[in-house]
Structure formats: C-alpha cells, structure tokens
C-alpha cells in the first residue's frame, strides 16, 4: 500500500470523525435527544434546562471536550465508580506507553528502516508503506541493535508503568472494600448443592448444619425457591393489572420515575408514591406466608447470613464437606446482581454448562476464520482484481484504487466480525511449531498496512459511533414519530465493558506488535487512544449508569493481556532477528523474554491475590469499627429483606442513590432479573461461567422503553393490597 | 524387527530375571545380608533368627513370593502407610486395565491387523513384528471399526476403574486424616514473611498480630532462628565430643540404636540410655534461654499454634494481609518433615528459585534429546551398520543381528537416560501443529518393536535390580571386607516414589498408546506389572521404612497422567484412522475424546479438592471428639516442643514407633535436616517448589553408615550436661 493510499484512508476517516463529532455537539443540545445523550444525568437530576429559543444550540461547539478533559479522577470515581476509573486508567496507560513507543520508534527505528537498503527513494507520498517496515532492512544488517534497544526501552517502560498502575489500583480496590461498609454481600454466603434428605426440607438441613458447625457465627438464611411459583404470581398479577387498567384507567401500569422533559427532575406518579409508603408492613407478612406454604418448592440453594464479614469470608473459602460437590460455598453477589433463575440450576449441571459455553465460543471463533481468510487477501491489489473481475476497470483509476486497498478490506471485515478479536486472522498461517516466530515475523509487516486501516475503521469509527449512539438516536426518533408517545420514560444503559476492554486490548496488541516492525501505525493509534480518553470519559459521565461494580477486577485481565502482547512482540522480533540473520539481536531478545515472564510472575504473586480474595485483616478491622460504632445491629436487620426473591416494594425507594454513590445502591433489585424471558439461555450460561468475578450484563435498550418489567413491582403491590 | 528377534530379546531378559530372582532368594537368607534385604524388619524387630548350619539357605525358594502375595491390604496399610497402599493400587489398576486391554486387543485387533492385507504369510517366527501392527491394514479398510470399538471398550474400562479407585482412595485419605488424630501439624500454621518493624522483634510483631486478630484461637508460636547459630552450637559440640573421646574412650560418639545381628532386636548403648532420661528437664530450660538471648537471630518465619484444627485451617487458607507478600500462611508440615534450612530463605526469593528450578528441569530434558535422536536410529539395521562400519561383518551373523536390533539400542538408551521420561523421544519428529495426530500415528508403530524391548530392559531389568539392591549389596560386602567393621550399624532406605511412579506411568503410557496400534507389547507389559506387584510389595514390607507420608497425594498425579495417556492414545488413533481414510472411525473417535475430557473434568470437581484441602466438617468433628475425650490439653502441651529447631533428646524416644504405625512418628526429627551440607541447593529448591504437597526426599545411603548426623543429638546432650 502506498503512503498516499494510507493518507487517503486517514483523511476519509478524519473527515468522518470531525463531521460526526460536530454533529454530536449539535444533537446533544437538542432537548428531544436528552434521553439519548444525558441518560445518566436525567436519572441523577443533573441535566440543565435549555431555553428552546436559544439558537446557539444549532452551532457545533467543543465545550463537551473541555468538560470531559477537566473532570478529575476523584470526581470521576465518585460519579461513576471504580470500574470506570480502572477503565479510564487503561486508556491513560495506553496513551502513556504508546507515546513513549511512538517517540522511540519514529525517532530511531523508522529512519533505520527507511535507509535500510541503499536505493534511490521516491517522493515520500509515492513510497510504499513497506519501505518503513523492518522488511526494508537488508539481511545481516548491523543496525538491528537499534530495534533490539527499542524493544528493551518499550518493555521496560511498559513494565514500570504496569507495576505502578497495578499498585495504585490494588490500593483503590482495598479502599473500595473498606469504603463500601454497608454492603450486605459481605455478610452473606451463597450455598449451593445442599444435600437432600427424605426426612426434612432443605431449609431444615441447612439450619441444622450451620447451627451445628457454625453456631457462633450463623445468623439466619434465605432459601431460593423454584422460579415457577414466583413467576406465576408475577404473571397473574400482570394480567390482573392489565384487565383492571381497562376498567379503572387511573391506575397507571407504568408508574416508574417519570422525568420532566424540561426541568429534568423526577416526579413520581402519585399512585406509586402513596402506595409505597403504605405497602411495607403488608409485604413483610405476605413474604412470610409464602415462605411457610411452599417448602416443597425449595431449591437446594440458599443465602446464609453471618454475624461478621470475617465469618462469612471463612465459610466461603473453606472446603465444607468431604464431598466437594455438596455444600458449595461462595461469597454472595450483591442483592441487585443476583440472577435468581440461575440459582435454580443444580450445581451438578454447572460445570457441564460451563464446558458447553467454552466449546461454543471456540467453535464460534473458528467459524470466523472463513471470512477472515478471504478478507486478508483483499489487501493485495492483484488478488482483489482476481476476486472481483468486474472491478478491473475501476481499479485502474488511481483514487479509487487507493480507497479500495486502503479502506474496503477492513470495512468488509468489520461487517463480518465486529466482536471477534482479529488475532485469530494469524492462526491459519501457522503450520510449524518451531517456525512460529519466523512465520509471525513474515506475516506482520505485510499486514501492517491492513492493520493501520483497521485502526481507522474499527478504532476511530467505533469511537464516533459510540458518541453518536446512532441506534438509540434513531429508535428515539422513530418511536416519537410513530407512537406519538409523550410519556418519554426511558432506560439508561450500562457501559459495555465487555466489548470496549477487548477493543482497547486489541489496539494495544496491534501497537506493541507493530512497534519496532512497522512503526508507521503508532501516530494513528495515539490519536485513537487520545480520542478514546475524551469520548469514553464524556460518555461515562453523561450517558451510562453504574449498576454492576466489580471493584476493579478488570485490571488483572488488562495487565495479563498486555504482558501477553509484550511477549508476542518479543517473539515476533526474535523471529525477525532470526530471518535477518542477526544472532546478537536474537541473543539479547531471549533474556528480555525471560525478564518479562519474571515480571509477570512477580505481579501475580504481589497483586493478583487481592483481586480474588478479601484480606482477613481488612475485614476484621471493618467488623470492629462497625461494632464500636454500634452499626452491626442495623446491618444485620436488613440482610434478610434485601436478599428476597420476591421484589419487595421498599427496595425501590433508593433508586436515586445510584447516581451519586454507586456503592450504596444495594437495595435496588435489578429489573432484568425478574423478566420471564425464555430465550436467554446463553446469557444464563455466561453468567454461570463468569461467576461472581467479572460477570456483567449488557443491557441494550433504547430510550422509549416498551412495558418495562421494572414497573411490575408497584403494580403487584397495588394488587396485593386490593385483593 | 522379526518376531524371532523379539523372542530372543524376551528370552534373554526372562533368563536374566529368573537367575536374579533365584539369586535373591538365596542371598536374602544369608545373615550377612540381612541389613540389605530386611532393613525395615531389623528396625521393627521382626527378623527371624536362622541357624547358621541350616543349609537350605543355599537353595532358591519362592517363599517370599507367596508371602508378598498373601499380605492383605489392611496389613499393608498398617505396616507401610497410605502412600504405599496408593502405590500398590496404581500397580493393581495397571494390571486390571491391561488385562482387559490385552484380552480385547489380542482377541480382536491382532487378527484384524494380521490378515489386514491379502498376502501369503510366512512362518510365524519369521514374520516381521510390523505385520501385527495397524500399519498392515490396507487404506480404506472396512475393519477399522474393530479398532474404534476396542478404543471405546478400553476407555470405558479405564474410566470406570479410575472412578472407583479415586473414590476408594478419597475415602482412605479421609480416613487417614481422621485416623491420625494426634498430628501436631493439624494445629500448626507456618507463617512466612513476617513484616519487619524497627521497634520490635519478629516474635513481638507476630504475637501482637495474632493476639489482635485471632485472640480467641491463637495459643503460642515458635520462631525460626538463623541457621548459623544452631549449626555453630552443633559443630562445637561435635568437636568437643571428638576431643573428649580420645581422653575418655568410654564415651561413645555413635551411640545410636545398635541392632543385634542374630536376634535382630535393638539394644541402646548405656551412655545414651542413661543420659536420655536425665536430659529432658535440663533441655527445656536451655532452649528457653536460647530463645531469650538471640532475638537478633530471628528469621521472619514461625510456627504458630492454634487451639483447634479448624482454627489452624482457617488461618492457613485465608488471605491475611492486604499485601499478599506478607503474612503468608500455610498448614505446617509434620515436625520431622521440616527442613529448617529452607525456612531461612526469604519468601520474596522463593518464587524466583521455583522458576529457576523449572527452567533447569526443562533445559535438562532438552539436553537429553541429543542421545535420544541417535539411539532411535539404531533400531533400523541399515542405520546401525552405517553408524558403526566395523560392525558390518558381525551383523551378517543371524543371532548377533537379532540380539543387536532387539536389545542393544534400549540398553544404550538406558545408559543415557535412566531418569528422563522417554516421552521426549517423540518430540523431535513434530514439525507441524495440524499434522501431530498423523505424525504420531506414523511414529508409534515403527517404534513398537523398540518400545517392546524397552519394556524388557527398563521394566523387567529394573525390577530385578530393585529386588537385588546391587549397590547396597556391594557396598555392604566391600565395607565388611575392607574395614572389618563389626559394628554393622545401618541406615534404612525410603521407598523411591519419585522414580517408581513415573516409571509405572511411562509403561502405562506405552501400553495405552500401543494397545490398538501394536498390541503385541501387551502380554510383556502385563508380565511387568504382575512382577512389579510382587516385588514392590515384598520390598516395601521388608526393605523400606516410611518417613514421609503424603496421605495419598500421589493418586491425583497418577489419575491425571492416565487420562493424558488415554487422550494421547485417542489422538494417535484418530491420526491413524485419518491416514487409513476411515471417516467413520475418525468421526466416532472425536466424541470419545470429548467424553474423556468430560470425565476428567468431573473427577477434578468431585475428588481433587479433597487432596488439596482439608474439609472443615471433618476437622470440626475431630476437634469436638478430642474435646469430649479431654485430649486437647495433652495435645496442646506438646505442640511447642515438637516444632523445635534444636533437636531435643526426648524426640528420639519414639524411633521404634515408625514401624508399626507410620502416622505416629511425629516426634522423630529427621537427621537429614540437621546435616550441614552446603551442596544440596537443588534439593532445597525442589523442596521449596513442592511445598507441603508432595515433597519427598530420596535418601540413598547404604548399609554400613559413616558417622551419621543422627548421632550428634545425644552427644550434644552429654556435653550440655557436662559443661
């Protein structure tokens, strides 16, 4: 690919980005789009009121960029939680390391590559981009030590930065644990596979076991019930509500928090509000009755509550029974993270389901090898005209030629595999174990041009897409136009960590592997990361709400994958030094690989355990502080009610709390959990696979929501009261 | 290789075995060799007295075989401990599964292979052994379903047997835990990396920490001291003893338990005996003084004692501090398993040492590829005469030809790599990832003849060698002849699990991989396993003593490796079905691989945790039983003294106990641990690497021992008393 083709592609993408960002800065000021671009602010009550006759709103402005830039980390932590901060730190780490990498590689490696062979150079824009890669060096070149040195500098910088980041984030995580003092999950253990006994119910077996072995610490428990009965109740209630609505239209079936379009504040529907205050005591009784009447509906799973955090920790970590498939213990998830349907699955099935999920994922990746093989060929112009004979005439045109080779292949690729890490595209060229480094070394520079355009199309474009929220925007417009629905209730989105962290990692991988081999990609990557910093910060502050908080558990994934990228870079460079017959450079790379492995092992010992286990010392100190302050009683009291399979009305009351302090929203039951969807078996399995560690769900609902299940709760309470 | 060459080789080996076993049955009856062949019995006092004029002792007899056969598992467990029973069960499992395999493969697979191609067969002894392999089948043969079915039968039988064995051994392990009620290690936690504080000693930091966080369960602790001071004391004492000996010859410097040659009983030297009774109280004081006077010699490691087993378990499993490199806890090893020198190593160095060990082991294996490549060529006669031109004349002789191809290569191989698993010999033929099954399939049958002779030379011969104990025998004779040493004190050996389990696994691997491909090896393997059963049983009962008891932790290793062997077999068969163009057989093999993986995963969930962790329920029950019986006080009292870095005299008293009940010998400090050897860095690292899980040491001392360090203890006590 010629440099001019590359620049054409970059130009197209930069123009698109500028247009989209300008468009965004206008669209966000339109009141009709507030629910698309300020979902979070609307929930939190922080959206400002605009004068409808304020015509500046039709002029693009960079104010949002300034605002995103100026928000400090503390403000960000308070507003969006630890996971968001960790995510932002991933972006900052990428900016830092690729700034260093770009400086080193463009100042030293690029000239060495360019003047690698004694030949007359063309004008710079007519040069092939391969002139800037390590391919251009002649065999046995004495300048390969520059690449080797650059590799050392990059690796050292990356390891140093990773170390300090890991240390800081570990501290933040500990602060998060101690800071979230009122978490009921810390007192609770999820027990699965309670052994069945013909003489007594599961509940009796459980209380007998814990009063026998943990009499000093056991408080009480909450059984999990067969989903059928809960769902039947909910459906009945729903149906009754629907029929009652026709009779008495003043009973609103969707009485959720209704935002006032212009003031941005929240006004609760009256019926909802009044009932909420009266319903509490009634509910408690009804739950009790239900518990009494359905012992045969019990499942062999329960939440067990303990007197102190330390007691719960101990029970969750110790192997309970001599049969490891019985009395399986885990620290409980937060009440609003519980997916009750999953607790119905017998523990004996879980491991099979996990394996099935894994097999499915692997099969899915291999299916994607077919389009990838095809696409990879397109970057070579000859192959392209061979594949599409009708294009031959057009391809002779210079500009179109540039567009097609610089832009088309990665666009097609995006269409095929938006979600699968394109690392797999390297897999089908492997045929020899011993030659992997050399094969990788051959593959990477020829694909450097492709990766650069991939950075434009997948990186920059996805960021522009992210900030525009086109799906939500269109859905919002269509819904408003078609249904004339004035009641614009909405559902806020959660940040899609599960797609954005892999994307960040993928670009990190591309950056590292190309760094000393084809450094031309680095400036474009830096632009991507810089843009990502501003856009993600803006989006997290304005659009997304925090519902699930892992407490920084994404960082070890990022850390390990970055180490993997570094190692892969070193192995590829090793292959290259081998191909170029430089034994000195090869010799110096091997210790670097070993040192990187040692660093990784050190971090695994020093920091990783904090992300898997809670330190006893910290929990004991928290317990003592609470006991001194006399808060224990209060904490114990609410444990039973928050882990309730039937959504209690009182759990709604704090839904506003999640905006300011994302850790305090434990009373909010996740509406997603109550939805009787039958087709979400995959999500269910994924949840089971991820366990409590890094599970998150992707809620992809757009603005004007159709009958939200969240609203069933007050409805049911109403019905209970009336019946 | 021709069948006759194979039979020649087998004949030679069978003759050698018969001669050696007959020789053994004579040698074992000679009183001079008692200490070689009845080491264990001499220690336990169970050796019978023979009349020196009883001339039957020069006639070979099979009585030892009968005795080994007749010993029941319960007797064996009581005499030799759980590890020995588990080892024997490995042999029994191998006999069972290879009996089934041999029946299936010889009855069905062998005829299919033999008549695989329509050709005129020679006389059976002139046939090449390759006629009996799957190689003989023509491409696209319709009889491959026989192989596929055989594979299913073998896999099912193996999985069933493995499942029942795992269940039985898990039960035995639980019984072992509950049965060994007086183990001090169950109450003790080994703490490493105690943080350093400038204001106070490690001991103070530790007691402050535990009285603060574990006040209800913490009892006391025992610091680890710098080895220098202990060693200096020991050496001084030794030197003083040496000089005193010249002055007062009645003080015997080697007063250990002296066996009476003919009665086999033990008579303790007087000086030893008398002092032992007087020294106790004095010692306790002196240890106390030492502890008081050397706070600056403390190391950041300690044994901490808790009131109950459950408390110790909890502390050992919970992450203590927010810095995972501080307050590192582990369940303590048994007192006699403690390697005090290792506890001096800072915890921060341990992980580096472990990695260095791993790297060393891998490098070591790769070095062995060089002889292996050479040896592998020798099985082909043409290559042999090419390698050794001077042999060309001799090789034309038929018998010598047979001997060389059937016997020589594996003998040379044995000389090169007695210790390295020869699985590596397959490694250098791999060059393609995707073709591994096919390449394996090509490699295995051509090497089948080699593997069969390897079974003779390494398998049968090593068993004969094991029972003869040639090194010990020669050493015994030489020492008696040269030094005229009438005081035949001796050191008993421990069973070398670390070489014998890998050997068993290797032959299992050979058996499985060859089963459907070249079933001719199976009868020879069966003979090996059967012989192994009798010989190992005899040796464990008569020769070896049990010092380290892992509680059956070798079984998961055996289980996992057997599963690996099954999977490798299936993959090789898959490659073969591919080579022979049988899509049906290939198609049916893939689900078998998946099912085997599922079975492995199930066992990993169902049984493996029992071998890594102690179940809380079991420990709590044990604690309660001891409290009810009022034994707790007694147990607590002796905790402090048994974990003492300075060998107390009282610890000697129970050295006889190790014979009958191997679990009760916790008071015996291992003399090996006190030896000031400087060159055992590798052993030290290995110990560190294996941790408490499966570590064992190989003590390879023969009969007439030179100045045993064990004997220093009473000497020192004497000196202490005198000074």
B360 reaches A (C-beta below 8 A): no
pLDDT at B321 over 50: yes
- Asked if the Cβ–Cβ distance from B620 to A352 is below 8 Å, we say no
Partners of B318 on chain A (C-beta within 8 Å) are: 313-314, 317, 613, 616
pLDDT at A70 over 80: yes
- Which of A194, A217, A322, A600 has the highest number of chain B CBs within 10 A, making it the mutation to test binding with B? A322
Q: What is the pLDDT of residues A714-723, one digit of tens each?
A: 333 333 333 3
Indicate the pLDDT class of residue A583, thresholds 50, 70 and 90: confident
Torsion, Cα B95 B173 B559 B145, to 10 degrees, reads 60
B616 reaches A (C-beta below 8 A): yes
Better pLDDT: B60 or B184: B184
Q: Where are the domains of chain A?
A: 3-180+369-612, 184-354+622-641+670-683+699-722
DSSP A187-247: GEEEEE-PPP-SSS-HHHHHHHHHHHHSTTTEEEEEEEE-HHHHHHHHHHHHHHHHHHHHH
Partners of B434 on chain A (C-beta within 8 Å) are: 431
CA distance B154 to chain A (A): 24
Burial B563-585 (b: 16+ CB within 10 A, else e): bbbbbbbbbbbbbbbbbbebeeb
A216 reaches B (C-beta below 8 A): no
Torsion, Cα A665 A667 A672 A678, to 10 degrees, reads 150
pLDDT at A207 over 50: yes
Beta bridge partners of B2: B128
pLDDT at A652 over 60: no
Check residue B228 and give its pLDDT.
Answer: 67
**Among the listed ranges A446-455, A473-482, A663-672, B218-227, which one has the minimum average pLDDT value?**
A663-672
CA distance B500 to chain A (A): 30
CA distance A189 to chain B (A): 15
**Among the listed ranges A197-206, B5-14, B87-96, B509-518, which one has the minimum average pLDDT value?**
B5-14
Indicate the pLDDT class of residue B368, thresholds 50, 70 and 90: low
Residue in B with minimal Cα distance to A167: B323
**Among the listed ranges A316-320, A383-387, B150-154, which one has the minimum average pLDDT value?**
A383-387
- Asked if the Cβ–Cβ distance from A325 to B605 is below 8 Å, we say yes
Burial of B40 (0-12, 13-18, 19+ CB in 10 A): buried
- Asked if the Cβ–Cβ distance from A613 to B430 is below 8 Å, we say no
Better pLDDT: B348 or A437: B348
Residue in A with minimal Cα distance to B623: A213
Do residues B210 and B304 touch, judged by C-beta distance below 8 A? yes
In the numeric block, the tokens 């003043």 are attached to A250
Do residues B3 and B129 touch, judged by C-beta distance below 8 A? yes
Interface of A with B in 404-443 (CB under 8 A): 430-434
- Asked if the Cβ–Cβ distance from A615 to B319 is below 8 Å, we say yes
CA distance B597 to chain A (A): 10
B363 reaches A (C-beta below 8 A): no
Partners of B314 on chain A (C-beta within 8 Å) are: 314, 318
Check residue A554 and give its pLDDT.
Answer: 93
Q: Which of B381-385, B700-704, B718-722 holds the top average pLDDT?
A: B381-385
Check residue B270 and give its pLDDT.
Answer: 38
Containing B721, the helix (H) or strand (E) segment is helix B712-722
Q: Which of A222-236, A276-290, B418-432 holds the top average pLDDT?
A: A222-236
Mean pLDDT of B108-136: 81
pLDDT at A264 over 60: no
CB-closest option in B351, B432, B616 to A319: B616
Mean pLDDT of B203-223: 90
- Asked if the Cβ–Cβ distance from A598 to B352 is below 8 Å, we say yes
Q: What is the ipTM of this complex?
A: 0.70
Mean pLDDT of B643-666: 47
Residue A712 sits at the vertex; the CA angle it makes with A706 and A714, to the nearest 5 degrees, is: 130
Mean pLDDT of A359-376: 68
Check residue B282 and give its pLDDT.
Answer: 39
Q: What is the pLDDT of residues B220-270, one digit of tens each?
A: 998 888 876 666 777 777 777 777 766 554 444 443 443 433 443 443 333
Phi-psi region of A140 (alpha: psi -120 to 50; beta: other; left: phi over 0): left
CA distance B176 to chain A (A): 13
- The token pair that represents A170 in the structure block: 């570990």
CB-closest option in A351, A609, A615 to B605: A351
CB-closest option in A313, A605, A618 to B351: A605
- Asked if the Cβ–Cβ distance from B322 to A605 is below 8 Å, we say no
Residue in B with minimal Cα distance to A607: B324
Check residue B392 and give its pLDDT.
Answer: 65
Do residues A627 and B373 touch, judged by C-beta distance below 8 A? no
Beta bridge partners of B266: B259
pLDDT at B685 over 80: no
- Which of A208, A614, A616, A618 has the highest number of chain B CBs within 10 A, making it the mutation to test binding with B? A616
Check residue B93 and give its pLDDT.
Answer: 96
pLDDT at B498 over 70: yes
Containing B259, the helix (H) or strand (E) segment is strand B258-259
Mean pLDDT of A553-579: 91
* B257 vs A298: CA distance, rounded Å: 65
Do residues A522 and A57 touch, judged by C-beta distance below 8 A? no
Q: Which of A67-81, B163-177, B662-676 holds the top average pLDDT?
A: B163-177
Q: Where are the alpha helices (DSSP H) in B248-300?
A: 270-293
Better pLDDT: A151 or B32: A151
Indicate the pLDDT class of residue B576, thresholds 50, 70 and 90: confident
Mean pLDDT of B60-68: 83
Partners of B359 on chain A (C-beta within 8 Å) are: 594
Q: What is the pLDDT of residues A696-707, one digit of tens each?
A: 333 333 344 333
Nearest-10 crossing angle of helices A144-179, A554-579 = 170
DSSP A662-697: TTS-TT---GGGG---SS-HHHHHHHHHHTTTS---
Query: To the nearest whole number, what is the mean pLDDT of chain A?
Result: 74
Query: B332: which DSSP letter?
Result: P
* B469 vs B703: CA distance, rounded Å: 11
**Residue A646's closest CA among A346, A294, A350?**
A294
- Which of B319, B347, B618, B622 has the highest number of chain A CBs within 10 A, making it the mutation to test binding with A? B319
* B472 vs B701: CA distance, rounded Å: 8
CA distance A199 to chain B (A): 21
pLDDT at A566 over 90: yes
Q: Where are the alpha helices (DSSP H) in A72-226?
A: 73-80, 82-104, 110-114, 144-179, 202-213
B48 reaches A (C-beta below 8 A): no
pLDDT at A69 over 50: yes
Q: Where are the alpha helices (DSSP H) in B133-201?
A: 144-179
Torsion, Cα B599 B602 B607 B609, to 10 degrees, reads 130
B215 reaches A (C-beta below 8 A): no
Q: How big is the A-B interface in CB pairs under 8 Å?
A: 99
Beta bridge partners of B306: B218
Check residue A230 and give its pLDDT.
Answer: 67
CA B220 to chain centre: 35
Q: Which of A91-100, B648-657, B704-713 holds the top average pLDDT?
A: A91-100
Check residue B158 and give its pLDDT.
Answer: 96
Check residue B561 and give its pLDDT.
Answer: 94
CB-closest option in B319, B432, B607 to A609: B319
Phi, psi torsion values for A380, nearest 5 degrees: -90, 125
Indicate the pLDDT class of residue B491, thresholds 50, 70 and 90: low
- Asked if the Cβ–Cβ distance from A320 to B617 is below 8 Å, we say yes
Partners of B350 on chain A (C-beta within 8 Å) are: none
Residue in A with minimal Cα distance to B609: A324
pLDDT at A152 over 90: yes
In the numeric block, the tokens 């990692």 are attached to A505
Nearest-10 crossing angle of helices A497-515, A554-579 = 20
Q: Which of A10-24, B90-104, B315-329, B347-361 holds the top average pLDDT?
A: B90-104
Q: What is the pLDDT of residues A468-522, one digit of tens each?
A: 887 788 888 887 777 665 555 556 678 888 888 988 998 999 899 888 888 888 9
Residue in A with minimal Cα distance to B209: A617
CA distance B305 to chain A (A): 18
Give me the percent of chain A exceeding a pLDDT of 70. Answer: 67
Check residue A435 and give its pLDDT.
Answer: 65
Residue in B with minimal Cα distance to A173: B322
Residue in A with minimal Cα distance to B349: A602
pLDDT at A403 over 80: no
- Asked if the Cβ–Cβ distance from B432 to A432 is below 8 Å, we say yes
B610 reaches A (C-beta below 8 A): yes
A320 reaches B (C-beta below 8 A): yes
- Asked if the Cβ–Cβ distance from B616 to A351 is below 8 Å, we say no
B279 Cβ neighbours under 8 A, 6+ residues apart:
B649, B717, B720, B721
A319 reaches B (C-beta below 8 A): yes
CB-closest option in B174, B319, B608 to A322: B174
CA distance B425 to chain A (A): 16
């Amino acid at each position: 690919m010629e440099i001019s083709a590359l620049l054409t592609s970059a130009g197209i993408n930069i123009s698109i980005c500028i247009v989209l960002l300008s468009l965004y800065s206008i669209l966000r000021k339109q009141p009709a789009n507030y629910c698309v671009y300020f979902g979070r602010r609307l929930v939190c009550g922080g959206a400002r009121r605009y004068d409808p006759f304020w015509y500046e709103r039709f002029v693009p402005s960079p104010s949002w960029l300034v605002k995103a830039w100026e928000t400090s980390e503390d403000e960000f932590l308070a507003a969006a939680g630890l996971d968001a901060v960790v995510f932002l730190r991933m972006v900052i780490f990428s900016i830092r390391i690729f700034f260093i990498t770009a400086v080193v590689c463009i100042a030293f490696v690029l000239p060495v590559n360019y003047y690698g062979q004694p030949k007359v150079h063309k004008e710079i824009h007519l040069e092939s981009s391969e002139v800037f890669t390590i391919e251009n060096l002649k065999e046995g070149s004495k300048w390969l030590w520059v690449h080797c040195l650059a590799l050392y500098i990059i690796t050292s910088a990356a390891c140093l930065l990773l170390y300090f980041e890991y240390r800081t984030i570990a501290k933040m995580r500990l602060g998060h644990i101690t800071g979230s003092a009122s978490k009921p999950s810390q007192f609770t253990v999820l027990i699965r596979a309670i052994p069945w006994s013909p003489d007594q119910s599961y509940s009796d077996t459980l209380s007998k076991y814990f009063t026998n072995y943990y009499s000093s610490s056991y408080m009480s428990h909450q059984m999990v019930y067969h989903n059928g009965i809960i769902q039947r109740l909910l459906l009945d209630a729903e149906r009754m509500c629907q029929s009652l609505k026709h009779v008495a239209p003043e009973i609103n079936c969707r009485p959720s928090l209704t935002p006032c379009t212009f003031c941005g504040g929240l006004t609760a529907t009256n019926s909802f509000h009044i009932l909420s205050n009266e319903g509490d005591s009634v509910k408690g009784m009804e739950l009790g009755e239900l518990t009494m009447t359905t012992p045969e509906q019990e499942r062999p799973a329960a939440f067990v509550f303990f007197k102190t955090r330390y007691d719960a920790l101990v029970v969750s970590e110790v192997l309970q029974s001599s049969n490891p498939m019985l009395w399986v213990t885990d620290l409980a998830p937060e009440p609003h993270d519980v997916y009750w349907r999953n607790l119905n699955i017998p523990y004996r099935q879980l491991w099979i389901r996990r394996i099935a999920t894994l097999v499915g994922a692997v099969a899915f990746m291999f299916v994607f090898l077919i389009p990838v093989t095809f696409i990879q060929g397109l970057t070579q112009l000859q192959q392209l005209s061979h594949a599409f004979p009708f294009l031959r005439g057009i391809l002779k045109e210079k500009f179109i030629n540039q567009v097609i080779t610089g832009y088309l292949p990665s666009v097609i690729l995006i269409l095929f595999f938006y979600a699968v890490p394109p690392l797999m595209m390297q897999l089908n060229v492997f045929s020899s174990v011993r030659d992997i480094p050399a094969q990788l070394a051959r593959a990477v520079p020829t694909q450097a041009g492709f990766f650069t355009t991939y950075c434009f199309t997948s990186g920059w474009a996805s960021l522009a897409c992210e900030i525009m929220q086109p799906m939500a925007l269109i859905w919002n417009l269509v819904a408003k136009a078609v249904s004339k629905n004035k009641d614009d209730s909405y559902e806020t989105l959660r940040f899609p960590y599960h797609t954005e962290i892999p994307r960040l990692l993928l670009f990190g991988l591309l950056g590292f592997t190309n760094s000393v081999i084809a450094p031309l990609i680095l400036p474009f990557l830096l632009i991507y990361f810089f843009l990502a910093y501003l856009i993600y910060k803006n989006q997290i502050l304005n659009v997304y709400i925090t519902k699930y908080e892992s407490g920084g558990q994404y960082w070890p994934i990022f850390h390990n994958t970055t180490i993997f990228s570094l190692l892969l870079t070193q192995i590829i460079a090793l292959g290259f030094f081998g191909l170029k017959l430089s034994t000195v450079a090869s010799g110096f790379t091997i210790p670097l690989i070993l040192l990187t492995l040692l660093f990784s092992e050190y971090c695994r010992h020093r920091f990783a355990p904090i992300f898997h286990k809670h330190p006893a010392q910290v929990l004991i100190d928290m317990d003592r502080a609470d006991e001194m302050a006399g808060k224990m009683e209060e904490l114990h009291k609410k444990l039973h009610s928050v882990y309730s399979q039937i959504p209690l009305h009182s759990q709604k009351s704090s839904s506003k709390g999640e905006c300011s302090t994302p850790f305090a929203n434990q009373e909010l039951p996740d509406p997603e959990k109550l939805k009787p969807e039958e087709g979400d078996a995959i999500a269910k399995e994924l949840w089971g696979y991820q366990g409590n560690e890094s599970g998150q769900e992707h809620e992809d609902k757009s603005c004007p929501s159709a009958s939200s299940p969240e609203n069933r709760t007050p409805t049911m309470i109403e019905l209970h009261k009336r019946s």
